[in-house]
Amino acid sequence: MIAQRIALGVILLFAVSALIFAGTQILPGDVAQSILGQSATPESLANLREELGLNQPAIVRYFVWLGGVVTGDLGTALTTRQDIATTLLPRLWNTLFLAFWAAIVSVPLAIVLGLLAVRYRNGPIDKAISGFALASTSLPEFFVGYLLIFFVAVKLQWFPSISTVYDGMPFLQKLQAIVLPATVLTLVVLAHMMRMTRAAILNVMQSAYIETAELKGLSAFDIIRKHAFPNAIAPIVNVVMLNLAFLVVGVVVVEVIFVYPGMGQYLVDHVAKRDVPVVQAVGLIFAAVYISLNIIADIAAILANPRLRHPK
């Protein structure tokens, strides 16, 4: 079953690569014209198209690009003439750094809030947690980001409004720089994980063995911690992995708001320049991360639930 999940993930990644390539090919405008400008002569445009291989059929260019990706060559940026893989690596680490610290805060907090909501279900604490979750889900990340910039960065001046990080930057300064974007990402994924944790545990609480534990006189907290939560771990892991994938893939808006030097900012900059190889490379990396984390979630569910390993 694990091998099947991995094989399906690889097939899906190839399908996504074809969609990404097709999507970039149907974008309006001319790449050569974007590079040389409106004053370029027809001869220079024709020479550049031939140099970039734009005169070849799309299917040929796709397999050339795919062959390079398989061998680790993501191509060369059209606007800067720099190797994409070399340029992307530090930005990928910046995005992963931001997503990692957002996950460090959001995952334990979501599980704890979900457990508290179950323990005090239908009470004031449960309603307060659920209300907070609904409010944070309803607000888009750009709105939350600008609110934090205005009140926390401009009015209170606790943290910088521009999240600038660089190689060799002291660790504590780097953490201080990402506090606001990490807070936005935490609020975005916290509500979903908390609500799904609550729902998964409440579903398990309907089981007969939970009633047996109650009849034995165990406290409500011990029942949730020792009996309900371990048996609800599989759906919780799935939700956590999906939200971790969003932390990496969904950072585009947050990175643009805080001018954070990550993958999302890099993607937006080169979309504006119509730098197709960069857009293709970043899109494929985002897809690979998302599919990989989903595969990990499936494998974790298989290992945690014997019924999935032995469906008969």
Cα within 13 Å of Cα(224), Cβ side? 20
Which CB contacts under 8 angstroms, 24+ apart, belong to 303-312?
A: 304/233, 304/234, 304/237, 305/234, 308/1, 308/234, 309/1
Asked if the model's pLDDT at residue 312 lies above 60, the reply is no
Specify which of 10-24, 152-166, 288-302 reaches the highest per-range mean pLDDT. 10-24
Whole-structure pTM value? 0.77
Q: Specify burial of residue 102 (Cβ count, 10 A radius: 0-12, 13-18, 19+).
A: buried
**pLDDT interval class at 28 (50, 70, 90):** low
Q: What is the arithmetic mean of pLDDT over 163-168?
A: 79
Q: What is the arithmetic mean of pLDDT over 44-71?
A: 75
**pLDDT interval class at 252 (50, 70, 90):** confident
What is the predicted pLDDT for the residue at 32? 65
Split into its structural domains, the chain has a count of: 1
**pLDDT interval class at 39 (50, 70, 90):** low
13: in domain: no
Asked if the model's pLDDT at residue 101 lies above 80, the reply is yes
What is the predicted pLDDT for the residue at 152? 84
What is the predicted pLDDT for the residue at 173? 83
Helical segments of the chain, H only: 2-25, 31-36, 42-52, 58-70, 84-119, 124-138, 141-148, 171-177, 179-204, 208-215, 220-222, 229-231, 233-249, 252-257, 263-272, 276-304, 306-309
34: in domain: no
What is residue 162's three-state secondary structure?
coil
What is the predicted pLDDT for the residue at 30? 63
**pLDDT interval class at 20 (50, 70, 90):** confident
192: in domain: yes
Compare 73 and 54 and report the one with higher pLDDT. Answer: 73
Q: What is the arithmetic mean of pLDDT over 176-187?
A: 86
Tell me what the pLDDT averaged over the chain comes to.
79
Which CATH number characterizes residue 263's domain?
1.10.3720.10
3: in domain: no
295: in domain: yes
Question: Please, which residues have CB within 8 angstroms of residue 48's CB and are 6 or more apart in sequence?
Answer: 32, 35, 36, 40
* Separation CA 226–CA 235 (nearest Å): 17
What is the predicted pLDDT for the residue at 113? 84
71: in domain: no
Q: What is the arithmetic mean of pLDDT over 205-227?
A: 71
218: in domain: yes
22: in domain: no
Q: What is the pLDDT of residues 112-137, one digit of tens each?
A: 888 788 777 778 887 888 888 777 77
Q: Write out the residue range of the structural domain in which residue 291 sits.
A: 84-309
Q: What is the pLDDT of residues 67-89, one digit of tens each?
A: 878 887 777 777 777 788 888 88
What is residue 31's three-state secondary structure?
helix
* Separation CA 197–CA 199 (nearest Å): 5
